[in-house]
């Protein structure tokens, strides 16, 4: 299973099937899912805590620590998808609309190469 062969909808179905099989939807609300997402983001950050940019690159080149980071990224995405599923959010529409807002907020003539 790789990105180019999948749609967001197929990932939404995989996550929803997992939740339904365990009857976990009863625990899924905006608070719990947003907290879970933030916790997983913290787990990803913990891998790189106190690292320099160079040691971050080294960790992402190391097989074991790279897999740890990939697993945490997957957890973040899974909770984001679960949040979308629970709240009937179309992820493609949400991302494309937000990117339009981001382009307006950060025009290239002011922000290219700058924050």
Binding site residues, Mg ion, CB under 5 A: 40, 43, 72, 75
Find the residue with minimal CB distance to Mg ion.
75
Burial of 47 (0-12, 13-18, 19+ CB in 10 A): middle
Closer CB to Mg ion, 20 or 71, in the complex: 71
Q: To the nearest whole angstrom, how small is the minimum distance from the Cβ of residue 32 to Mg ion? A: 15
Nearer residue to Mg ion within complex by CB, 43 or 65: 43
Minimum distance of Mg ion from residue 39's CB (angstroms): 8
Report CA dihedral (14, 19, 20, 21) to the nearest 10 degrees.
Answer: 90
DSSP code, position 108: H
Cβ-based nearer residue to Mg ion, 76 or 84: 76
Least CB distance to Mg ion at residue 19 (A): 16
Helices 30-48/63-86 angle, 10° precision: 170
DSSP letter assigned to residue 75: H
């Amino acid at each position: 299973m790789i990105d180019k062969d999948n749609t967001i909808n197929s990932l939404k179905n995989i996550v929803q099937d997992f939740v339904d099989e365990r009857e976990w939807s009863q625990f899924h609300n905006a608070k719990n899912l947003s907290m879970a997402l933030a916790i997983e983001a913290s787990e990803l950050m913990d891998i790189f805590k106190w690292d320099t940019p160079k040691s971050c690159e080294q960790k992402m080149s190391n097989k074991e620590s790279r897999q740890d980071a990939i697993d945490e990224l997957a957890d973040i995405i899974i909770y984001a998808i679960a949040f979308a599923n629970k709240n009937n959010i179309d992820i493609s529409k949400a991302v494309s609309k937000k990117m339009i807002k981001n382009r307006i907020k950060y025009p290239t003539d002011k922000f290219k190469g700058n924050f």
